[in-house]
Amino acid sequence: MELKKDSNAVSIDMLLIVHSEKRRAAQGAHSDRQADPGALLQRRGGLQGIGNGIRRWQKLEEIDLHGNLAEKQHPQQTQIITSYDNQGTQLTVEVHPRDAMPQLLKKFSLAKRLQGDKNGNTRPRQPGGKDAHAYPWDRSSLKSMPLDLRQFEKLDTYASQVTVKSGLDELVSDLLQEAHSDLERVRAIWIWICHHIEYDIEAAQEKDRQAFKPTDILRTQKTNCDGYAGLFEKMCRIAGVQCMTVPGYSKGFGYQTGQSFSGEFDHAWNAVYLDGRWHLVDSTWGSGLVDSATSKFTFLYNEFYFLTHPALFIEDHFPDNKNWQLLKPPQSLRQFESNMYHKSEFYNKGMLSAQPETSTIKTVNGKAMVTIESCAPTLFMFMLNGKQEHGLLSLRKNGMKLEVYPPTVGTHKLQIFAKGNSDVYSSVLEYTLTCNHVDVDVQLPTELHQPVGPSWFSEQMGIMKPSHPHPIIHTSDGRCSVSFDVEEGVSVLASLHGDDGLITEETQRRYIFQLQREKRTELKVQLPHAGKFALKIFVKKRQEPGNYLFVFNYLLCCTNTKVNWPVFPESFGNWGQDNELLEPLTGVLPANRNVPFKLKLHGIAKALVKGQDTWPLTLNSEGYWEGSCSTAGCQEVYVMVLENANHNFYSYILKYKVNAQ
């Protein structure tokens, strides 16, 4: 017989309770006490109960108990029929409108436990072997089940824009309009909470954490982690998906590297049952973050905490029951405390692993080293005690290598940041460095920025085939030459930086002389004295407006105390990129001397050197302009060129200073 759906259909619920006569009499004396109706779940298909004495009854629509077609009625009142046998067994049957709250449930304290999913499973099973994932992480996926996030694009947009109209049931109903599976139902609820519920910092800092009712959360749209987890569980159950709240310890706001955990649990999250397996979510951390400096919450959606792979979730979530780790083997609390904490952005930005795997590093001979492996080329930076100093960070195609030299003995905080596909660097790792010895021979220039040495990034910016692929260049006489191919249309700029103050901002580029030979650029460098210097490389596309962009730097090292090179001559805008200076390379000429000049100049009609007098340069058979100039009676010497033979205007291209007599 086919049953027709009717909005006025009724459900019959039966509750079987065994009581002694005294117990039954006492129960009747208190029968007016009612449980919170807000804790009950209304589902199509009638009551879903728990236990052996509580069964799910079939929904009756327009048929009587004998299976005959009955006249359509519109019951206005709930009917309760109770009978007893001589053994003290009570049988109560309630007939009520399908959408009405069963009165029986209101009278018994176990009502809250009678909430189930759409399949009639009223008590979610505890996690078992088939829920467990292997530990450590196998790098297969950040998620605990195969997901293509592109499938959620339409649903995510819809769910994030749903507004609260009245109560929780209507909100869930609205969210599920575009959800067609349990996974999509959970996703819609997750997205809505993460985009609408703000973390209540004041409530979270209270000594006695208050319980947030879902109605209060919807009204204020603020709560603490318990409220997030409770609301998520409630909404999932309304949607017919099994969900549990899991309390435990966390490495969240205020966590200090290496700290131990004891006493009350400080966090709560959820487990949801999908496709026959338990999965983990944390809507608190998915919604945003708290600025440690201002203690203010900012909405910043974090996809990482939706169905996170348990081997990654355990890095910052330790449940009260080890079974909820969903791991094989499970981790101990001591392991949780000592294991390296990779922040969610570590994985969001494509990191795979980091060495060392402990959160505390002891320096060896004053040095600590960290390496990171990533699944794609990524930009990194670091901070030691809040400053980008005392370290050498070099990029690799799939990761980076960092050497850190703490300036003092003691404990230091090392933070590592990664850029990934975004325009913002995010903190991905934190280490505590313990230094018992300082290497006094390693004093890096303050201006030595990151990264050091050429890499995939410099190649991406137009600098290829460097003469020095390694980041450190040692020179015994204080001079070196660095060259590389440059992509067409790209200009290169370089500057030299030390820590002694002798290199002023005005002369930072005067210790470097740049030469261009077809597509290859050469940087001739002369150091003013012994020590360590940062040779910084910048690039800019000629046709684009804006400033030069820093790409990388070399660390130049010289231990020869006799080194004392002067600056190179100052070049002007008309100094062509393909020009070449052979002599004199020093920018300071001796007084009262005849100084030879030799240059290769392209597209020039005439060239001359001007001091106290003017000396012409002649073009030889090899294509070089040659000649000499007397420095007597002058303080400055200029090289000038005439680009067009039909013109009389000479341009300055080089400037030399003359030593005082």
Cite the active site residues.
Answer: 225, 267, 282
Crossing angle between the packed helical segments 168-175 and 225-238, to the nearest 10 degrees: 70
**Strand ranges (DSSP E) for 343-489?**
351-355, 360-362, 368-374, 380-384, 391-396, 399-404, 410-418, 426-435, 463-464, 472-474, 479-486
Q: Do the bridges between strand 531-541 and strand 463-464 make them parallel or antiparallel, or are there none, so unpaired? A: unpaired
Distance CA 614, CA 645 (A): 18
**Hunting for tokens 């999932």 — which residue is that?**
236
Distance CA 1, CA 638 (A): 108
C-alpha distances (whole Å) from 309 to each of 137, 358, 373, 476 are 8, 21, 19, 54
382 — phi, psi (to 5°)? -140, 165
Helix or strand or coil: residue 174?
helix
Helix (H) or strand (E) holding 495: strand 490-497
Burial class (CB in 10 A: 0-12, 13-18, 19+), 625: buried
Tell which phi-psi region holds residue 410, choosing left (phi > 0), alpha (psi between -120 and 50) or beta: left
Distance CA 442, CA 439 (A): 6
For 204, the token pair is: 């979270």
Distance CA 196, CA 554 (A): 48
Cβ 317 vs Cβ 303: under 8 Å: no
